[in-house]
Amino acid sequence: MDYAATTPVDSRVVRAMSPYFNEKFGNTMSLHGFGQEAKEILEESRKSIADLIKVKPSEIIFTGSATESNNLAIKGIAFANRKKGNHIIISQIEHPCVMESVKWLEKEGFEITKVGVDKYGMINPESVGKAIKKETILVSIIHASNEIGTIQPIREIGKICRGKGVYFHTDAVQSFGKIPIDVDKMNIDLLSASSHKMYGPKGSACLFIREGVKIEPILHGGGQESGLRSSTVNIPAIVGFAEACRICKKEMKVEGQRLKVLREKLIKGVLGKIPSSYLNGHPEKRLPNNVNFRFDFIEGESIVVQLDFLGVAASTGSACSSVKLEPSHVLLATGLKHEQAHGSLRVTLGRWTTKKEINYFLKVLPSIIKKLRDISPFKKHD
């Protein structure tokens, strides 16, 4: 139950990809038949992805990862619009690839504002509006949090940006294919998405760039992807990504409902069975597949490893599981103390999560929490 980390590739996707390894293996840059065949399937794939968010195929640029898409969006806009201004706005709860990109831009002379969130991890669109100034060239806000699942009021934020003539980028890696996205209605200029979070293969991602947006490439070379991303195009992965999009488009509504029911069962079950347990993130405006709990008096890595012993995969925002020994910046941004953030557990559901699995989880978790609390020096009465 760690589908937000990555997903298995759907067997339908594997089937769609398989001819493109050793039968139809052409390079899109070659003029001969193999190359042209590859070029055709590339454009067909681009169309399937564009369809999912209702954009023109020419507005989709393929990249190798969501990290690359976010880097391209942020650095590409920054350098192309430098003459206009040097100010960029993000939120305090962005993915590390956005956080680190703007940190690097700071060294290059850009000024960064990070807008805060409320206790549910929600951004107030007005705070974005207030942060925009004459020099602002880009606002980048994550659509749905990868950690706590909170879905941001993207449409309202986009409207404010549009009104002030500022480009608006959203990192939609966790929401793409899971909830409906309409970039026109939501006033989005750039959007990042990734294949391996939606039952496609790793190594393929994309960036939607609205026609007319001024952007510079960060990879220079053979000029693939309209000159915005030079690199030999990874056809098998892109074909897989496209098939994954077609499946999501078809099944999103039903699957979203199914997951919501499981999610609510899980939340009610845990909060009802385990004392001193809480839900992180927004109670309603959250991804259908994301649950994030917090348990007092214990630490998250211990919970994750105990669950793993019993065959359940989950994750935590505790410092002890990170390479930096710092708890999740997202949980801290919602106002949690360090010691509270240590006790977090993220459970993310997916296409093959069943009611039986939820029941099993609800059966084993209380005794794990109790055991760890028995070991802990902090007890309720202290």
Partner 1 sequence: MIKKISKMGPYTKKVFECFNNPKNYGRMKNPDGVGKVGNPVCGDVMWLYIKVGKNKKGEEILNDIKFETFGCVAAIATSSILTQLAKGKTLKEAVKIDKKKIIDSLGGLPPIKIHCSVLAASALNKAIENYASRKTKKNKG
Q: Segment contacting partner 1 (CB under 8 A): 85-93, 169-177, 186-194, 307-315?
A: 307-315
Among 318, 328, 334, 344, binds partner 1 (CB under 8 A): 318
Backbone angles phi, psi at 293, to 5 degrees: -105, 165
Picking from 46, 9, 93, the residue whose alpha carbon sits closest to that of residue 233 is 46
Q: Which is nearer to partner 1, 150 or 302 (CB)?
A: 302
Q: Which is nearer to partner 1, 141 or 298 (CB)?
A: 298
Sign, CA dihedral 271-275-281-287, equals negative
Q: Which is nearer to partner 1, 69 or 321 (CB)?
A: 321
Q: Which is nearer to partner 1, 125 or 317 (CB)?
A: 317
Q: Which is nearer to partner 1, 29 or 261 (CB)?
A: 261
Instruction: By CB under 8 A, tell whether 357 contacts partner 1.
Output: yes
Strand ranges (E), 237-307: 277-279, 290-295
- DSSP of 66-129: HHHHHHHHHHHHHHHTTTT--EEEEETT--HHHHHHHHHHHHTT-EEEEE---TTSPPPHHHHH
Structure tokens at 150: 């909170």
Among 121, 158, 317, 327, binds partner 1 (CB under 8 A): 327
Q: Which is nearer to partner 1, 111 or 357 (CB)?
A: 357
Q: Segment contacting partner 1 (CB under 8 A): 45-53, 155-163, 274-282, 334-342?
A: 334-342
CA–CA separation, 61 and 46 (whole Å): 8
Instruction: By CB under 8 A, tell whether 104 contacts partner 1.
Output: no
Angle among Cα 98, 103, 108 to the nearest 5 degrees reads 120
Sign, CA dihedral 222-100-4-168, equals negative
Instruction: By CB under 8 A, tell whether 334 contacts partner 1.
Output: no
Among 287, 312, 314, 333, binds partner 1 (CB under 8 A): 312
Contact between residue 296 and residue 344 where contact means Cβ atoms under 8 Å apart: no
Distances in Å between the Cα of 247 and the Cα atoms of 33, 64, 301, 330 are: 29, 21, 34, 31
Among 298, 314, 333, 345, binds partner 1 (CB under 8 A): 298
Q: Under DSSP, is residue 19 helix (H, G, I), strand (E, B) or coil?
A: helix
Among 79, 104, 120, 297, binds partner 1 (CB under 8 A): 297
CB 311 → partner 1: shortest distance, Å?
5
Instruction: By CB under 8 A, tell whether 375 contacts partner 1.
Output: yes
Q: Segment contacting partner 1 (CB under 8 A): 116-124, 241-249, 276-284, 312-320?
A: 312-320
Strands 205-209 and 111-115: unpaired
Residue 143 Cα to chain centre, angstroms: 8
Sign, CA dihedral 294-297-303-304, equals positive
**Marked catalytic residue, from 161, 245, 248, 320:** 320
The counts of H helices and E strands in the chain are 12, 10
Angle among Cα 42, 48, 54 to the nearest 5 degrees reads 130
CB 272 → partner 1: shortest distance, Å?
22
CB 299 → partner 1: shortest distance, Å?
5
Q: Which is nearer to partner 1, 7 or 101 (CB)?
A: 7
Instruction: By CB under 8 A, tell whether 301 contacts partner 1.
Output: yes
Q: Which is nearer to partner 1, 284 or 374 (CB)?
A: 374
Q: Segment contacting partner 1 (CB under 8 A): 160-168, 230-238, 245-253, 308-316?
A: 308-316
Among 113, 140, 175, 321, binds partner 1 (CB under 8 A): 321
248 has catalytic annotation: no
Residue keyed to tokens 């070029």: 39
Q: Under DSSP, is residue 342 helix (H, G, I), strand (E, B) or coil?
A: coil
Q: Segment contacting partner 1 (CB under 8 A): 93-101, 213-221, 243-251, 322-330?
A: 322-330
Binding region for partner 1 (CB under 8 A): 297-299, 301-302, 305-306, 308-309, 311-312, 318-321, 323, 325, 327, 337-339, 342, 352-354, 357, 360, 374-378
Query: What is the set of active-site residues?
Result: 320
